[in-house]
Amino acid sequence: MTQFVTDKVARLTPYVAGLQPNEGGWIKLNTNENPFPPSLKVIEALRGVDLADLRLYPNSDSETLCAAIAENLGVRAENVFCGNGSDEVLALAFAAFFEGKSNILMPDISYGFYPVWSEMYSVGAVQVPLREDFTIRVSDYRDANGVVIANPNAPTGIALSLGEIEEIVRANPKGMVVVDEAYLDFGREQSAVALIPDYENLLVVRTFSKSHALAGLRVGYAVGQAQRIEELQRVKHAFNSYPLDRLAQRGAEAAIKDVDYWDETRQRIIAAREWTAQKLRELGYRVLPSQANFLFAEFPKAAEMYVHLRKHKILARYWNKPRICEFLRITIGTEQEMEAFIQCVKSY
């Protein structure tokens, strides 16, 4: 580090994303991207954009998109906040509700960006150990100044029920509970959005990257009571008044309205996930029960399996960390990609 950076920047440990190869021919099962293209309605909407309008700033609050999301979820537009991917939305939530506070609870095994934002915003994060079976013990999350939980959790794929989420929200009346639902569309559980009318301390964060196949447009959103949304807007306007460009707003609006395509593709991913999990179990490997678009599978020598897959141009995600160093996280691809993955595992 140089003399020019702040002490905080010098101490930061940045988040490390999954490998993104530049050349073709890879089967990418490492970054939880959707294996299917976006809806044709998204493509049509983007083709209809008047590119001359790109000289103009977009709508700063994504009002039309917020209205479309609100209609889809059965809430009011004032309950929706849009940002540049759910990562930005989560970062703004950390700044708005957790910065400088202590006793902010989060699982010890979860999304790797949570500890990074905790460092960035001087958050006194408390990493609560998962059970031995990698589930969250709900009773561990009470009387805190804030809670952050991914549901389903990442990288495990295990989900809490809506009742369990409500129990956590009720147990923390003095702190915001942020529920990251990036993967909820691939499971059976009901969104915590249903709880928003009853709890002022709840914020639900979602994304278009996974089930809507729009990772490249970077669109995320939060749902909460109107006062919480106004507080997020205040932080956003102090940071970046125009987070979503015209293309992103138009494409995401078309995606949220094409419910049939969203359901068709997510059902295909769910079916491929269950098929892959069954095949891995038949081969003798332990696979955690997943409600996400990925599997978390245990291998006797996970690091070697990772290298073996990579030699055959198949990417999975591996972390050399305590408790999970013998696991690989495997994104669910197309049916053909998962068949190739299983054949490669068999050849190890």
Confidence check: pLDDT of 3 > 90? no
Going across the sheet that includes 327-331, the strands are 286-287, 294-298, 327-331, 317-318
Higher per-residue confidence, 14 vs 60: 60
In tens, the pLDDT along 50-78 reads 999 999 999 999 999 999 999 999 999 99
Cα separation of 76 and 229, whole Å? 11
One-letter identity of residue 5: V
Task: Give strand pairing partners of 177.
Answer: 147, 202
pLDDT at 6: 87
Would you call 30 exposed, middle or buried from its count of C-beta atoms within 10 A (0-12, 13-18, 19+)? buried
Q: What is the mean pLDDT of residues 241-249?
A: 95
Give residue-wise pLDDT tens across range 86-101.
999 999 999 999 999 9
Q: Name residue 221's beta-bridge partners.
A: 82, 206
What does the pLDDT average to over 2-22? 83
Provide mean pLDDT across the span 122-150.
97
* Spatial distance between the Cα atoms of 306 and 331, rounded to a whole number of angstroms: 13
DSSP annotation of 156 reads T
Q: Report yes or no: 263 and 65 within 8 Å, Cβ to Cβ.
A: no
**pLDDT higher for 228 or 19?**
228
Predicted confidence at residue 1, as pLDDT, reads 59
Average pLDDT over residues 151-173: 98
What rounded mean pLDDT belongs to the chain? 96
pLDDT of the residue at 245: 96
pLDDT band at 188; cut points 50, 70, 90: confident
Q: What is the pLDDT of residue 31?
A: 95
One-letter identity of residue 170: R
| Model confidence at 14: pLDDT above 90 | no
Mean pLDDT for the stretch of residues 166-179: 98
Q: Output the pTM of the full model.
A: 0.96
Calculate the CA dihedral of residues 144, 148, 302, 292 and round it to 10 degrees: 140
* pLDDT tens by residue, 250-269: 999 999 999 999 999 999 99
Non-local CB neighbours of 133 within 8 Å, separated by 6+ positions? none
CB neighbour burial string for 214-251, b if at least 16 within 10 angstroms, e if fewer: bbebbbbbbbbbeebbebbbebbeeeeeebbbbebbbb
CA–CA separation, 16 and 257 (whole Å) = 33
Distance CA 35, CA 333 (A): 5
* Percent of the chain residues past pLDDT 70, beyond the cut: 100
- One-letter amino acid of 70: A
Q: What pLDDT digit, counting tens, does each position of 316-331 carry?
A: 999 999 999 999 999 9
211 three-state secondary structure:
coil
